[in-house]
Amino acid sequence: MTTPLSREKNNELYRRVMAGDEQARRQMIEDNMALVSSKVNAFIREHPEAANLRDDLRSAGYIGLVQAVNAMDKHDNPENPNPTGYLSIAIHREIKRLADSEAVISVPDRTQRDARKENRQIKAPAVQQGIPQSFADRRQDAQQELMDLRELLDSCCESDDERTILRMREEGHSDRQIANALGLSHTTTYMMRRELEQRFDQKCCELEE
């Protein structure tokens, strides 16, 4: 597939996966590979310096996708209102983790100053490219991770309107529908959602440091 599955199709597959349908499990993985590609492309647009890692990022995204789908029937809540969002979060986290593992290791300022005083040159080492075996072998508790992410999202909300935006997005409503419910313009609602997402991304970065 060249385009990600619709929310409705993922909802249908999710219900079948929860009922123990192995064919639906395989289909959910295979048909959401386009979602992985979409997330990788979006990540590279925001971080063009990671373009050389495209294939590795795609592999990491697939790992996140498979782990998320395989963990679905372990959920206590079979009526997950947003399986597409759940998959997106799992894919994004694995992409970001791999990108972080490939980043150049920074040299502390103090070390650089001391080296200059001694006329020594320090070259920042780079992490070896390729998905580490520990990354591929890691087994995560996806259910607990989803709960932690949900609590983190809640902590990013600074107003009742933002909590409404979060809840309605989880229920599958569009920005325009949310704007109508809040009595705000579509642009204002979109900007509020983007600011909420940026605060969430910032908190994720702080937790991973």
Q: What is the identity of the amino acid at 32? A: N
Contacts of 31 (CB under 8 A, 6+ apart): 1, 5, 9, 13
> Of 186, 154, 158, which Cα lies nearest the Cα of 170?
154
pLDDT tens for the 209 residues of the chain, in order: 567 788 889 889 988 988 889 999 999 999 999 999 999 998 998 888 888 888 889 998 999 899 888 888 765 555 556 788 888 888 999 998 888 776 544 445 556 566 666 776 555 444 444 444 443 344 344 455 556 666 777 888 888 898 888 888 777 777 788 888 999 888 888 888 888 878 877 766 665 55
CA 5 to chain centre: 17
Is residue 88 within 8 Å of residue 35, measured between CB atoms? yes
Q: Write down the pTM of the prediction.
A: 0.50
Q: Which two tokens stand for residue 154?
A: 């809640």
DSSP assignments along 136-197, one per residue: HH----HHHHHHHHHHHHHHH--SHHHHHHHHHHHTT--HHHHHHHHT--HHHHHHHHHHHH
CA 58 – CA 74 distance, rounded (Å): 25
**Domain assignments of the chain as residue spans, ordered by start:** 7-156, 157-209
